[in-house]
Amino acid sequence: MAKERILVVDDEEDILELIRFHLSREGYQLVLAASGEDALKKAGREAFDLVVLDLMLPGLDGLEVAKALKAEARTRTLPIIMLTARGEDADIVSGLEIGADDYITKPFSPRVLTARVKAVLRRRSRAGVDDTRVMLIHELEIHPGRRTVLAAGKALDLTFTEFQLLCVLARRPGWVFTRSQIVDAVRGSDYPVTDRSVDVQVVGLRKKLGAYGHYIETVRGVGYRFKETA
């Protein structure tokens, strides 16, 4: 089953429920927002794999939300599917020029929406993470391809799960990941990863990072994040 998290933004409750029903059946994790302001707040504090965004929103409209998402480093690469009653070419072109990945006009078929969502996520998955790119953050040097970590030049001996956990957090400094998101991303073969065991893994990882363990911050009641600045 799919595990991707999708933010759905629409001011019509029946549309939100329709989308939630059909995409949840496919295994996606849905977070709903009824306004542009609420959508930006949620996108700023949680990690998502896709946004389904209505253009005609009260207050901050969909195009403004899309511009704001593309202007932020944290959400710049977040795929967007525009969902709108507007069918004019100018509106569609405006959305695509901002950086939206696809569009669907209302009224829409849930099957078509599901197919478009799967297609966009497949493209994103194929793009993947560049395992040849070394992550340099604070005093840490993380090489995903070689699966090595240097802390101030000293090699660390991390388990598979600890390494996966570090990569998940370090790829998006400042982003808050829930324990469930971490479980989905970290599929360690040497440890039975569960919500509770994430806390154990974090303790172990912090210990091995030594003086740099404080870069992994606990967000009370939510999960963990990697500190943006030293």
pLDDT by residue (tens digit) across 175-228? 888 887 787 777 644 445 566 778 888 999 999 999 999 999 999 888 999 998
- 3-class DSSP state for residue 154? strand
Sign of CA dihedral 97, 120, 132, 198: positive
- φ, ψ dihedrals at 145, nearest 5°: -65, -45
pLDDT number for residue 191: 47
> Would you state the structure tokens that stand for residue 166, as one six-digit string?
């570090």
Domain boundaries, the chain: 5-127, 135-226
- Nearest CA-CA partner of 64 in 37, 34, 102: 37
- φ, ψ dihedrals at 63, nearest 5°: -65, -40
- 3-class DSSP state for residue 46? coil
Domain covering 5-127, topology: Rossmann fold (3.40.50)
Domain covering 135-226, topology: Arc Repressor Mutant, subunit A (1.10.10)
**C-alpha distance from residue 137 to each of 96, 134, 171 (Å):** 33, 10, 9
- Nearest CA-CA partner of 142 in 34, 20, 226: 226
Question: 106, 83 in Cβ contact below 8 A?
Answer: yes
> Would you state the structure tokens that stand for residue 84, as one six-digit string?
């709108």
The C-alpha atoms of residue 192 and residue 183 are separated, in whole angstroms, by 10
Buried/exposed code over 39-71 (b: 16+ C-beta within 10 A; e: otherwise): bbebbeebbbbbbbbbbbbeebebbbbbebbee
**What DSSP string runs through 177-226?**
EEHHHHHHH---SSS---HHHHHHHHHHHHHHHGGGGGGEEEETTTEEEE
Question: 167, 149 in Cβ contact below 8 A?
Answer: no
pLDDT number for residue 189: 44
- Spans of the chain, pLDDT less than 50: 1, 188-191
Residue with tokens 């870069």: 215
pLDDT number for residue 153: 92
pLDDT by residue (tens digit) across 29-42? 999 999 999 999 99
